Amino acid sequence: MSTPNETHPYNYPTSSANDFERLGHPGKWKKTISVSGTTWFTGSNYGVGAILPSGTGSPAGTAYLTDGGSIDISKLSKGVIYELSVAYITGGSDVYALFRNQVIR
């Protein structure tokens, strides 16, 4: 295994952060955040492509979609990923927002 100060044969630094920058994120989802209260998915939070009501607790809130409409999170099944284009969530608790890897469809 490489150490952070080694150099890759093609002169790429071998730190794990640079491997993801250089090669890309291998999975469909690249980041998640736990939503609390109102959260907008713009700017540095852009790219939410799914929500996941927590398998524990009492998921709550309303997810507003990017082209209109909303979904009551408390009506969704716990532990199931719902692929949605979410603009923002209000009153969120016990729900995760999953950020898409924009390279993988």
pLDDT per position as a tens digit, 50-92 = 999 998 889 999 999 999 999 999 999 999 999 999 999 999 9
H helix runs in the chain, sequence order: 16-23
Residue 25 has pLDDT above 80, yes or no: no
Residue 105 has pLDDT above 70, yes or no: no
Residue 8 has pLDDT above 90, yes or no: no
- Indicate the pTM of the whole model: 0.75
- The answer to whether 14 touches 2, Cβ cutoff 8 Å, is yes
**Cβ-count burial of 94 within 10 angstroms (0-12 exposed, 13-18 middle, 19+ buried)?**
buried
Residue bearing the bigger pLDDT, 80 or 6:
80
Q: Which residues, 6+ apart, have CB-to-CB distance to 78 below 8 Å? A: 53, 54, 55, 56, 59
